[in-house]
Amino acid sequence: MSEYVFSPSTPPSLPVAGSDARFPIHRIYCIGRNYAEHVREMGREPDRGAPMFFLKPADTIVENGTTIPIPPGTENFHFEIELVAAIGKEGRNIPTESALDLVFGYGVGNDLTRRDLQLAMRDKGWPWEIGKSFEHCAACTAIHPVAEIGHPLENDIWLDQNGTRRQSGNTREMIFNLQEQISYLSELYVLRPGDLLFTGTPAGVGPIAAGDTLVGGVDGVDELTNTFR
Ligand code: MN
């Protein structure tokens, strides 16, 4: 076998709760505009026409408890607390009725966003990449297996910034529920073990400053704590 010209990067991964094993990350899919009040605060109307997805590179993952640097190029760096589904089986053309069978477990994530750049790209009709995909932009807790916690599809989701509640909602309020998201993605991609799916954020997103502590949770799953510098 040929040598690599330089050493390949360590595969990105997250801890698995209650285990020494780790969850190796393949892709990070994210749905946008998936809670009605958040869609309105972004200046749009809720739409059941088709779900809207974007991706983050796997190596943007950041673990629970870490300090995250404010990224360059933004004056409006935002938090978005989200339920994260971790895919454990390969799947294509999956009906909604069996979509949850693909889920290995769940975590709590923060879809960190350079909001000013995202909206500038949106308003030009350009891709969002520079607003949504950058180093350290996908924070997530350990993955909690379904066998331990079930499917948190009617659970409160919230985020506190320096002790003040900023976001609150319930995962049942998703415009496209998790089964619909998995089914839709599986018609366009081959879902693979190791895929993460950030399932959207409730209303209340806002700016992060250096020195902030964010604590966010999905009740029954976990709490995600990160500080910023
Ligand atoms: Mn999001």
Distance 139 CA to ligand 1 centre (A): 12
Domain annotation covers residue 153: yes
Domain annotation covers residue 49: yes
pLDDT for 211: 98
pTM of the model: 0.98
Residue 11 confidence class, pLDDT cut points 50, 70, 90: very high
Distance 3 CA to ligand 1 centre (A): 39
pLDDT for 60: 98
Mean of pLDDT values over 37-54: 93
Q: Which residue range is the domain that position 153 belongs to?
A: 22-228
Among 174, 197, 172, 179, residue whose Cα is nearest residue 35: 174
CA distance 76 to 190: 34
Distance 38 CA to ligand 1 centre (A): 10
pLDDT tens per residue across span 201-224:
999 999 999 999 999 999 999 999
Residue 22: exposure state from Cβ atoms within 10 A (0-12, 13-18, ≥19): middle
Distance 31 CA to ligand 1 centre (A): 6
Domain annotation covers residue 129: yes
pLDDT tens per residue across span 109-139:
999 999 999 999 999 999 999 999 999 999 9
Distance 92 CA to ligand 1 centre (A): 24
Distance 58 CA to ligand 1 centre (A): 16
Residue ranges of E strands in the chain:
13-15, 22-24, 28-32, 52-56, 61-63, 67-68, 77-79, 81-87, 103-111, 113-114, 138-140, 144-145, 156-161, 164-170, 196-198, 206-207, 213-218, 222-228
Any idea what the CATH number is for the domain that residue 218 is in? 3.90.850.10
pLDDT for 132: 98
pLDDT for 1: 73
Mean of pLDDT values over 185-210: 98
Residues in the chain: 229
User: How high does pLDDT run on average in the chain?
Assistant: 97
